[in-house]
Amino acid sequence: MVPKIAGQYIVKRLSDQIMAPPAQRPAAAQVEDAAEDLDGQIVTDEDGQSVGTARRLADVAVYVVSDGFDDLESELLRAVNERESRLLIRSVDGRIAALIYVPDPASAPKRVVGIRSDDI
C-alpha cells in the first residue's frame, strides 16, 4: 500500500512540475522590457494624436529625490506632474548621465513622526 501511495505522489509531483505554467517574471523586469520596447515606436498623447517617435537614450539614469524607499514610482509621478518640481540634469563629459526629479517640498506628504510616551 505504501509503495502505491508513494508512486502516486511522485507521479503527481512530476505532472505538476511539467504541466505548471511558466513562472511569472518580476514586475520590474516586465517594466524594463516595456521601456526597451518603446524605442522606435510612435508615441501618442491622451487623445490618440501622434507626438513623435520614442528614442531610448543609452546610459541615462532617472532618479527621484525622496525621503524613503516606500513608493518611489508614485514619488516620481508626483514630481513629473507638479509644476513646482525641478528637473536637474547631470552630465559627464558633455553627455547626459542622469535626470533627477525633485518634487516640490511644500506638496510632499507629511511624514508620520513617532513619539515616546515619556515625551507627552
Say if residues 12 and 2 touch (Cβ distance below 8 Å): no
Q: pLDDT, tens digit, for every residue of 19-78?
A: 666 555 455 445 555 556 788 899 898 898 999 998 888 889 999 988 876 788 888 888
Is the pTM here over 0.85, yes or no? no
Q: Can you give the residue ranges of every domain in the chain? A: 26-56, 57-108
pLDDT at residue 117, rounded to an integer: 60
pLDDT at residue 25, rounded to an integer: 47
Mean residue pLDDT of the chain comes to 76
Neighbouring C-alpha atoms within 13 Å toward the C-beta of 8? 4
Helix/strand/coil for 92: strand
